[in-house]
Structure 1
Amino acid sequence: MSNLEHWQSAKLPDSRTLQGRFIRLEKLDAARHADGLWQALEGPGADPKLWDYLAIGPFTERGAFEDYLTGLQASTDPWFYTVVDQKTGVLDGFLSLMSIVPSQGRVEIGHVTFGASMQRTPKSTEAVYLLAKESFALGNRRLEWKCNADNARSMRAAERFGFSFEGTFRQHMVVKGKNRNTAWFSILDSEWPSLETAFKAWLAVDNFNDGQQINTLEHLRTL
């Protein structure tokens, strides 16, 4: 349990760019990012299952997509970041910090919308790591991950990243006319230091050989 003797309310996220080895997270800017995000999320080779468990999409018209991004940019909760490849500058998707409650030190990583070019690559792991790191640097006590309990990919990702499963809220939401049972996961501030060590070890140069991981993230958490 966290020591609350000196704890104060968490800070809000700001527009700083979060720098990683593989990617950087820039505050989403519809004007600058629309072209790249359209290509990543709706262009040739886009993931056909990408929008299945998201509240909106897919988009067939570019104008509607740009209107959507404009709304994301204006939002303060959720607070959206665009994923930018460090080497190429190509945009790979976006994600957010959301359900931001500074007075309780609680925040969630959500709206994870990664293009096919990013899935099952170090970039997706680093994006979550950078937002988790930022969440606790802002003074939060609890980082949440929630998803449709039928979304096997998101459930697996949460477990791989080290989130603890807390249970399922049955008939929690109606999304796109369908029932959603919501699975809840979390990381506490007391758990983050050891999880961060494993993330750093996994992302390190010497953990990859010809682009393939040597040690899994789960294994590194056991060391």
Structure 2
Amino acid sequence: MLEGRWITLAPLDAEKHAEALYEGSHGGGRDSVWTYLPYGPFANPASLTADIELKARSVDPQFFAVIDNGSGRAVGYQSLMRIDPANRVIEVGHVMYTPAMQRTARATEAQYLFAQYVFDVLGNRRYEWKCDNLNAPSKRAAGRFGLTFEGVFRQHMIVKGRNRDTAWFAMLDGEWPARKAAYERWLSPDNFDADGRQRQRLSELMPKTPAGDHGGDADVLAPRRNADR
């Protein structure tokens, strides 16, 4: 359990989380959250529940539900994957945020809690983020979250019957302290006004990645697709 101000990351559980996740990610235009993921949308609640049951049993990827602290309901999930203890490398992947989660501080806090766990608790050297090279919002998000663009693996995968070129991003342990400070300054209560609007963007606080990265300087509240690993 990784607890924050707005959200808590808890082990994914079909009985506890499937109903809310289906309601939050299907119908009313919400199906678009599955565009770049290798599965979904699902035909019915039972199909999603069966998929979550499999995910909950998985060790790598290891899935976490994103729980909204206010409502107690699941608003997305994400995982730690390609876990490599020998080389101390780990990747964030299978990120599915419902529209209720997108464009909110909760998405940033979810990424901060993972990065903090990866570096400060697990002691990793390298934290990776990969996405479809067509997924421009995910690439902007990676840059905003402090990861550096490292290149594109061409014809890396076939996903839902089409080619996927994969963009790679990473953060290193030596880079984490400055990026952690930026996250914590942004997440501080005094960075938000009475209506919950940010006073300063995370991109203004985050150390700049090397020239030529594909991260961009996206506002936290700009729409974005889900990351897709």
Structure 2 length normalisation: TM-score? 0.87
| Bigger relative contact order, structure 1 or 2 (CA pairs below 8 A, ≥6 apart) | 2
Q: SS in structure 2 opposite 1:48?
A: helix
Aligned-residue CA RMSD in angstroms? Answer: 1.3
Residue 221 of structure 1 deviates from its aligned partner by 2.3
| Aligned match for 1:220, one of 196, 201, 205 | 205
Secondary structure of the residue aligned to 1:140 is coil
How far residue 222 of structure 1 moved from its aligned partner, in angstroms, is 4.9
Contact 1:45 1:116 in 2 (8 A): no
The percent of aligned pairs where both chains have the same amino acid is 47
Q: Which amino acid aligns with 2:46?
A: G
Give yes or no for the alignment of 1:193 onto 2:177: yes
What is aligned with 2:212? none
Partner of 2:227: none
Between the aligned partners of 2:29 and 2:192, the Cα distance in structure 1 is: 26
Written as runs of structure 1 = structure 2, the 5 A alignment for 1:166-185 is 166-185=150-169
Contact preservation (8 Å) 1:143, 1:186: yes
* CA apart distance, 1:47: 2.4
Please say which of residues 165-174 and 208-217 is displaced more in the overlay: 208-217
Worse-matched range after superposition: 207-216 or 114-123: 207-216
Which amino acid in the other structure matches residue 62 of structure 2?
W
What is the total number of aligned residue pairs between the two structures? 206
Q: Of residues 65, 70, 80 in structure 1, which corresponds to 2:63?
A: 80
Query: Could you state the TM-score of these two structures normalised by the residue count of structure 1?
Result: 0.90
Question: Structure 1, unaligned stretches of length 5 or more?
Answer: 1-16
**Aligned 8 A contact 1:40 1:46 in 2:** no
Paired with 1:87 and 1:151, the residues of 2 have a C-alpha distance of: 30
What is the Cα deviation at residue 46 of structure 1? 5.4
Residue of structure 2 aligned with 1:151, choices 122, 129, 135: 135
Q: Residues 144-171 of structure 1: CA distance to partner in whole angstroms, max 9, x if unpaired?
A: 0000000011111101101000000000
Letter in 1 for 2:135: N
Residue 40 of structure 1 contacts residue 115 of structure 1 at CA under 8 Å; is this kept in 2? yes
2:36 paired residue among 42, 50, 53: 53
Equivalent-residue separation in structure 2 for 1:60 and 1:213 (angstroms): 38
